[in-house]
Every structure is written in C-alpha cells, then in structure tokens.
Amino acid sequence: MKTAHPNTLDALHPGETGTILAMHAGAELYRRLAALGLRVGKHVRILRRGRFAGPLHIRVGTTDLMMRTSDASCIQVQRSHF
C-alpha cells in the first residue's frame, strides 16, 4: 500500500482544508483535474474518505467531487489552519 506524502491531498483527513500548490500529473490527468475545478491556488476540503483506500469526497468551492486516492496523491497542498 502506498503511503501518503504529508503535503499531498490524499494525506488530509476529513474536515481538513488546504490550498493547492502544484499538480504533479501527466497532461491528460492535469487537464481532467483542471476541468473539475482543481487549479493552483484553489481551496479544497476533505469531506469523507472511502473505506479501504477508496475514493475521497472533496469540496472545491461549491462543487463536490469524488476522487481516487492515486489522483489525489498527485496534488501538492498546503494545509490550512483555521
């Protein structure tokens, strides 16, 4: 099982928020994530985590998304402390 890097989206816990600093993904995944509203500078919140490394339920602005943990591991974030 892959361990989450402390500065990636998949390392956040439900209720935690962060700001996207970078997206380290291939061109296709980068375009798909950008089309969903995930861009550098956007604030994200983890709402729920699926069981057994299942998908993450996240909120970007007013949009809720389900995202694979493998995709979330490509997104570098800065945890928000408020």
Block means of pLDDT (10 residues each) for the chain, 82 residues, are: 72 94 94 93 94 90 93 93 65
Q: Which fold has domain 9-79?
A: SH3 type barrels. (2.30.30)
pLDDT at 3: 54
Q: Measured between alpha carbons, how far is 66 from 48 in angstroms, rounded to an integer?
A: 9
Burial of 1 (0-12, 13-18, 19+ CB in 10 A): exposed
In order of 4, 21, 37, the CA distances from 58 in angstroms are: 16, 16, 11
DSSP code, position 46: E
Domain boundaries, the chain: 9-79
pLDDT at 38: 94
Global pTM reads: 0.86
pLDDT at 1: 46
pLDDT at 5: 65
